Amino acid sequence: MAERILTRNFHLPESHTLRVYRETGGYEGLSDVLAMAPATIIETVKRSNLRGLGGAGFPTGVKWGFIPKGHQGPVYLVINADEGEPGTFKDRYLLEKDPHGLIEGMIVSAHAIGSRLAFVYVRGEYVQPWRIFSRAVQEAYDAGFLGKSILGSGVDLDVVVHRGAGAYICGEETGLISSLEGKKGWPKLKPPFPAVRGAFGAPTIVNNVETICHVPHIVQRGASWFAALGTAGQGGTRMYSVSGRVARPGVYELPVSVTLRSLISEHAGGIANGRRLKAVVPGGSSAPILTADEIDVTMDVDGLKNAGTMAGSAGVIVMDESVSIPEALMIVARFYAHESCGQCTPCRESTGWIYKMTRRIVEGRGRKEELDTILDVARRGAGTTICAFYDGAVGPYISYIEKFRDEFEALIPK
């Protein structure tokens, strides 16, 4: 049985409280960590092979190192809790069941990057997680874990909890920063990257909830321990949101070396109702789909990239033989057409076109040439927009049609 790190307290009553967190060892080694040199913490995180667990999979310690050396002035830490990727619900559990784990991770991370003010941007629809986390922040202030000179260390940190308004595009880090600044949540051109010029013009590190929750464990237990839990290119465990046609849907924390087949068949109980597996989305709706013959892959960033898809947010959506792939694509396409911010013409126009064409096909009004039109439009737009929204949408557009084209053609009138 693999060791559970982030979910170890989920089964405990009132696991969200400061009392339970401290009873299970929380904040225990914080004083020692705050006495460490920031550069030592960053180097430890680099050697641990912790990679971003929100979607991009970028090495966390490397990202922290992008803050300009010798910078004078504020540095901000921003936690991306805008968990909007369809099929993903892991961060919600962390906010609800172990909020102090995130707070301790923020304290350590902020100390490492020299930040004295951190923001937590919570998805607008996450009302209960926001309430629970906000109470935990107040508990931390009252106990001296936030504010001026934490535990007498001389290290300061204030935390602002900010609610979004329900826009998927604000899960993209520069769109999130725009929203945090009080502007329309439009992504920005990079460079400059947020670590150089981010929120309110200051160097800013944006990290996902789950990523930051790992940090205290890495610093206290060592980089080699965390690295050994994973693969050559990625250390540790991660939380997989498993939904769809499985016997036991839920959140599973496992080493990133676990295979997709094992995750589905052993941990999630296999396909429900004795049906056969048809396809799997391995990393949230943006990830290209895998067929039933392609699931012997490790669930780390590089393993899934080599399989032609991506780990993304680790939202695993399982489809059995009763699922219509064209209908599934129509639902995904409708989502991207609705959520495009409209700033870039290829994304604004193409997502709408592709949804309309896919819907016509599903309703039996499509034309065969529209399948090639969808593929052509998708490929032409990839890499031409400010952010990665459209590049993410292209993954399902292309993979669903290429791997299950016969299903689409069967719905087109002869």
**The CATH number of the domain covering residues in 325-410:** 1.20.1440.230
Close Cβ partners of 25 (under 8 Å, ≥ 6 residues apart): none
Q: Any bridge partners for residue 121, and if so which?
A: 80, 162
CA distance 246 to 275: 10
Close Cβ partners of 74 (under 8 Å, ≥ 6 residues apart): 115, 116, 117, 200, 202
Per-residue pLDDT at 1: 62
Beta strands in 209-330 (DSSP E): 237-244, 250-255, 277-281, 290-291, 315-320
Asked if residue 117 lies in contact with residue 157, where contact means CB atoms within 8 angstroms, the answer is yes
> Within a 13 Å sphere around the CA of 315, how many CA atoms are in the beta-carbon half?
20
CA distance 387 to 186: 9
**So where are the chain's domains?**
18-228, 237-320, 325-410
Give percent above pLDDT 90 in the chain. 98
Per-residue pLDDT at 2: 74
| pTM (2 d.p.) | 0.96
CATH topology of domain 18-228: Rossmann fold (3.40.50)
CA distance 1 to 410: 45
Which CATH code, of 3.30.930.10, 1.20.140.10, 3.10.20.600, 2.40.50.140, is assigned to 237-320? 3.10.20.600
pLDDT, mean of each 10-residue run, the chain (414 residues) = 90 98 97 97 98 94 95 97 96 98 98 98 97 98 98 97 96 97 96 96 98 98 97 97 98 98 97 96 97 98 97 97 98 98 96 98 97 96 95 97 98 94
| DSSP states of 290-311 | EEGGG--SBSSHHHHHHTTS--
Structure tokens at 342: 């409209």
Per-residue pLDDT at 386: 96
Per-residue pLDDT at 123: 96
pLDDT, tens digit, for every residue of 270-312? 999 999 999 999 999 999 999 999 999 999 999 999 999 999 9
Per-residue pLDDT at 410: 98
Asked if residue 30 lies in contact with residue 15, where contact means CB atoms within 8 angstroms, the answer is no
CA distance 62 to 193: 13
